[in-house]
Structure 1
């Protein structure tokens, strides 16, 4: 998996997953921080942790997005974390580190893609399909888009 999306609102989670899949990223999804940590731990044991975690700040009961980000970066400092929020003041003075970004919801697909690409290692971007970065409409017009279900 390239990106693990953590969002308790199913419609937002699905939209973010669709946008990033269309950009060529391999996606997994979780509704809670606890589920995300379990998925990341399992992935890390097999092939390495996700390259980037995209998480909402407010995830319902349990750990919030900031606590998830802190735990992810403690376990895997090389992983990037993108926080999604409707209220940037919800970051409550949290100083972002070099492996963290935030985007404001509703987030434009290209803004989200840029934040994820910025935190994705160059070696991972190099293995992505040639149509990545063209934009879905341009890639489709050129016949370069990913097959359905990719």
Structure 2
């Protein structure tokens, strides 16, 4: 089943912007002016994927990240189990046990995940899809009104 995005059929371009933030600000301004923004769509064009490398991935870093993630999950499970503890001492031991088991399993899974890559990807990164331009389009009956509002707005900015 194909995905669909609600977009005005035969939408008319009412503005073009270099960044998503600018397009978003334009639509926000239309909303502030009580324009029916449910007739507006922001379309990003010329998409590209940008991957920013954040560092080198080593055994120590992979195991450490796994251990930290596992420790958080273990702490969460320990706190949940601690709810049913009959005394304060039992509660503390439940939380610490969950924390330690989570830390160990997280470190183990971090090491296994790093070993599975076999050195094919020894770096960490953050990816995002960005567009080179953003068009604000509007349903034809309201397009002229939207253009007029955005023209007055662009004169002030």
Query: What TM-score does the superposition give when structure 1 sets the normalisation length?
Result: 0.18
Greater C-alpha radius of gyration: 2
More helix by percentage = 2
More strand by percentage = 2
> Which one has more relative contact order, counting CA pairs under 8 Å at least 6 apart?
2
Query: What TM-score does the superposition give when structure 2 sets the normalisation length?
Result: 0.18
